Amino acid sequence: MSVLSVWMNGEHVANWERGDRGGRLSYSAHWLQSLSSRPLSLSLPLLPARESHRGEVVGNWFENLLPDSGDIRARLRDRFGLRSTATFELLQAIGRDCVGAVQLLPEGSRPDDLHQIRFRPLDEVQVGAHLRSVSAGPGPGHLAGDDDAFRISIAGAQEKTGLLRHQGRWCVPLGSTPSTHIFKLPLGLVGNMRADMTGSVENEWLCLKLMAAFGIPVAEADMASFDGQPVLVVTRFDRRLADDGSWWMRLPQEDMCQASGLPASRRYESDGGPGIARIMELLRLSEEPGDRATFFKSQILFWMLAATDGHAKNFSLRIEAGGRFRLTPLYDVLSVYPIMGRGPRQLDPQRAELAMAVSGRNRHRRLRNIHRRHWNATARACGIPDGAEAWIGELLERVEPAIGSVERQLPAGFPDQVASSIFGGLRSAARRLASMAQPA
């Protein structure tokens, strides 16, 4: 097969033809006339039916639907008996439930049972077994397609899977029914230093709660355990139950790498990906006037929280009819405070750095080198004449109320090392920021 059809909520959007350097994307005549019509991406604007997008910009967009990790892609290849981890081949196998609204189906096929909710319910033990199997290769005698739940594609570097929440139970979604929640497993030992991030579930939950307490829209997330397997359960904001309750709709979105036409390998600014100024410029066109403030304040908070992985794939846009767009809630916020130190398997505080640089006479990423003046210079470079002072003042005023609010939400048994290191690091960063000279 050399063509995959792209569908959104039962409408044929485009055909993606496999080829050299990304292939070719052609929008369907039906989609161009539809009231729901919109581009797949800001980097792939609508074209007349006889015209096509070609090359790397096409391949990059689809490649960003897949997990970033080569190991995870290899396990998907083995699970489905594929010949390679090539983007087209993987999405041919698992593209029926992607991030955003797209379903990828064989040419000539249509989504089946779209306006129904089809599922297989799971009990707690079965959910636990399912989660443990996510990071395992196919067992002896495994046949491709044995587990329909794995035919989903979720981007990112972390082990994760998706399930459906229906009638108060966790279920494997079947047919065209999408997953409604993402299950994120603990990271374990990470990086060349083998730093211990087994507390990543609690870490991310805490960071998301703190971001929300500062007024930043974030994905809803809960900590859970299934048959002894800890997991972060994230409610998908790219899913919505239809008004009549009969089926789950998919909401179009894309990450900033896709919007910029870049491959996932360029998600970090240091690798050629978009930085603060580029994203702030793009957000001038957002339908939500507050998106620029939200994005910039999130960068200041990432510095205060030592959330060092805020790269381009961790910011997304919801694509609306006619090509309008706005920021989605934030997600994937994780602090490195719990692994900071100068011992073995720890991150030296002097080396911790942000994914996106701030401006000054030079550009700065390392947390220790970033000062209040750099945030103001960066804001002015983004067209904010008064700099970032109003945002800085707002965030500093909220530090203690935010910590107090989240402390009251901590469940019994929450790991003290995670909470104390993040709360302590946030307070320390706030004191440092408050003590720095303000512009005259």
Domain ranges of the chain: 3-139+147-180, 269-435
Q: What is residue 150's predicted lDDT score, i.e. its pLDDT?
A: 42
Any idea which of 17-26, 39-48, 217-226 has the lowest mean pLDDT?
Answer: 17-26
Q: Could you give the residue numbers annotated as active site?
A: 309
Say if residue 172's pLDDT is above 80: yes
**By the 8 A CB rule, do 287 and 224 touch?**
no
Q: Which residues contact 289 (CB under 8 A, 6 or more apart)?
A: none
Q: Does domain 269-435 have CATH number 1.10.260?
A: no
Mean pLDDT score, 269-288: 97
Q: What is residue 22's predicted lDDT score, i.e. its pLDDT?
A: 82
Give the confidence band of 76 by pLDDT, cuts at 50, 70, 90. Answer: confident
Say if residue 388's pLDDT is above 70: yes
Q: What is residue 62's predicted lDDT score, i.e. its pLDDT?
A: 96
Helix (H, G, I), strand (E, B) or coil at 28: coil
Q: What is the pLDDT of residues 326-363, one digit of tens each?
A: 999 999 999 999 999 988 888 999 999 999 999 888 89
Say if residue 186's pLDDT is above 50: yes
**By the 8 A CB rule, do 157 and 68 touch?**
yes
Give the confidence band of 68 by pLDDT, cuts at 50, 70, 90. Answer: confident
Say if residue 157's pLDDT is above 90: no
Q: What is residue 1's predicted lDDT score, i.e. its pLDDT?
A: 57
Which of 306, 303, 255, 263 lies closest to 279 in space, CA to CA? 255
Backbone angles phi, psi at 283, to 5 degrees: -70, -5
Cα angle, residue 390 at apex, residues 384 and 395 outer, rounded to 5° = 125
Q: Which residues contact 137 (CB under 8 A, 6 or more apart)?
A: 75, 78, 79
Whole-number Å distance between alpha carbons of 250 and 40: 13
Q: What is residue 260's predicted lDDT score, i.e. its pLDDT?
A: 98
Q: What is residue 193's predicted lDDT score, i.e. its pLDDT?
A: 74
Say if residue 144's pLDDT is above 50: no
Backbone angles phi, psi at 237, to 5 degrees: -90, 5
Two structure tokens written together for 55: 């090359």
Place of tokens 């109320």: 401
Which of 60, 2, 14, 15 lies closest to 272 in space, CA to CA? 60
Say if residue 145's pLDDT is above 50: no
pTM above 0.85, yes or no: yes
Which of 261, 237, 259, 260 lies closest to 249 in space, CA to CA? 237
Q: What is the pLDDT of residues 102-117, one digit of tens each?
A: 999 999 899 988 899 9
CB-based contacts of 7-10 (< 8 A; 24+ apart in sequence) = 7/102, 7/103, 7/104, 7/105, 7/110, 7/111, 8/36, 8/101, 8/102, 8/103, 8/250, 8/252, 9/36, 9/101, 9/114, 9/249, 9/250, 10/110, 10/111, 10/114, 10/115
Q: Which residues contact 167 (CB under 8 A, 6 or more apart)?
A: none
Which of 32, 56, 18 lies closest to 264 in space, CA to CA? 56
Average pLDDT, the chain: 92
Mean pLDDT score, 397-417: 98
Mean pLDDT score, 277-291: 98
Q: What is the pLDDT of residues 126-137, one digit of tens each?
A: 999 999 988 765
Q: What is the pLDDT of residues 240-259, one digit of tens each?
A: 999 999 999 999 999 999 99
Give the confidence band of 435 by pLDDT, cuts at 50, 70, 90. Answer: very high
Give the confidence band of 439 by pLDDT, cuts at 50, 70, 90. Answer: confident
